Amino acid sequence: MKLKKLMEEKNLDGILITDLVNLRYFTGFTGTTGIALVTSTGRYFLADSRYVAQAKEEVPPCGFEVVPIIRPVENKIVQILKDEKIERLGIEDENITLSTYNGYVDKFKGVEFISLKDSFVRIRMIKTDIEIEKIKKAVEIADKAFKKILPLIKEGAVENDIKNELEYEMKKLGADGPSFETIIASNYRSAMPHGVASMKKIDRDGFVKFDFGCFYEGYASDMTRTVYFGDQPSEKHLDIYNTVLEAQLKAISVIKAGISTRYLDGIARDHIASKGYGENFGHGLGHGIGLVIHELPFASEKGEDFILEENMVITVEPGIYIDGFGGVRIEDDVIVKKDGYEILNKTTKELIIIK
């Protein structure tokens, strides 16, 4: 098991899981307050009275035993630490506040705290089959909802109204909710990489960029499509669109286990630069998706370089943005396979022209 392996690697007697995303990942708990303590002999989920019943439904299938507590939770933790003679306790230092840590130091006498750093997010990079099924469903919902709202693109339609319809469609299809703030950016606003839907009315002769996704049973999808609203895109609109599409297809085509994310980013970036738009692609090529919308691994020209592994799920989303004119991004969610890849999104990437 993943936690047992981590304990062996770091020579730990126990691990305290406090971050809600990691709690959900390891224990199945979907509530908003709880702590798990894993030792060599036990897996305890400490819940207060508000969450005992829910925890009893959710955590036993993941091998955790519910321990009801009366606040403060540290009193029960101290007791278990003493009973099981825990000396080296792994803690999520990236998610614990200084005051919580000081409280631990004060109460957990004789315990050495070992920093887990980003061990959990690294474990979460590689998806299980169950996780992949949930991501696939989240992507399917986004694809279907997008198709539904395309007819709403007309002169005078407000970006925000289309956003609301899009999010409602995703929920009707089973989504928990949007996986991040929906981006709908029309005409000159499409040049803003993160132009969240505004009160702007959609006007003709420009791009409309949609970047959105949903959570399905906790797992995120993330897709971008850029459409053209007007009779005939100009040569410049077509050139930008085609360059982004070529960059995206080129990058996806090299995906397989064993390649580096910096190399992947470079494939798209070099293509865009070769067409003269190098200065107009300012963000990284992609990121992992899972319980969190942006998670490891990241594909960019800066920061850490990751080696792709089988069953990572990443986005591939090159873009070109030209101030005052408009911008294009095209994004798919992709599963890394041993010898290749699987693109999850089914929405066309040919330029959709809405007249």
271 touches 264 (CB < 8 A): no
Query: Which of these ranges, 133-141, 257-265, 275-283, 313-321, lies near Mn ion under the rule CB under 5 A?
Result: 313-321
Q: Where are the alpha helices (DSSP H) in 219-325?
A: 235-253, 261-274
Min dist CB 342 to Mn ion, Å, is: 17
SS3 162: helix
- Tokens of residue 159, six digits: 């970006």
Residue with Cβ nearer Mn ion (280 or 315): 315
Residue with Cβ nearer Mn ion (27 or 182): 182
299 touches 286 (CB < 8 A): yes
Query: Which of these ranges, 30-38, 170-178, 299-307, 314-322, lies near Mn ion under the rule CB under 5 A?
Result: 314-322
Compute the distance between CA of residue 162 and CA of residue 196 in angstroms, rounded to an integer. 12
- Angle, vertex CA 298, rays to CA 330 and CA 119, nearest 5: 145
Q: Chain centroid to CA 321: how far? A: 23
Residue with Cβ nearer Mn ion (315 or 345): 315
Strand partners, 214: 178
Kindly give the pairing relationship between strand 177-178 and strand 35-39.
Answer: unpaired
Residue with Cβ nearer Mn ion (24 or 287): 287
Min dist CB 81 to Mn ion, Å, is: 41
Answer for which of 74, 159, 167, 222 binds Mn ion (CB under 5 A) is 222
Work out the number of other CB atoms within 10 angstroms of the CB of residue 104.
Answer: 17
Min dist CB 331 to Mn ion, Å, is: 5
Residue with Cβ nearer Mn ion (186 or 221): 221
Contact between 300 and Mn ion per CB under 5 A: no
Answer for which of 315, 316, 327, 345 binds Mn ion (CB under 5 A) is 315
- Using CB under 5 A as the criterion, which residues of the chain lie in contact with Mn ion when the complex forms? 222, 315
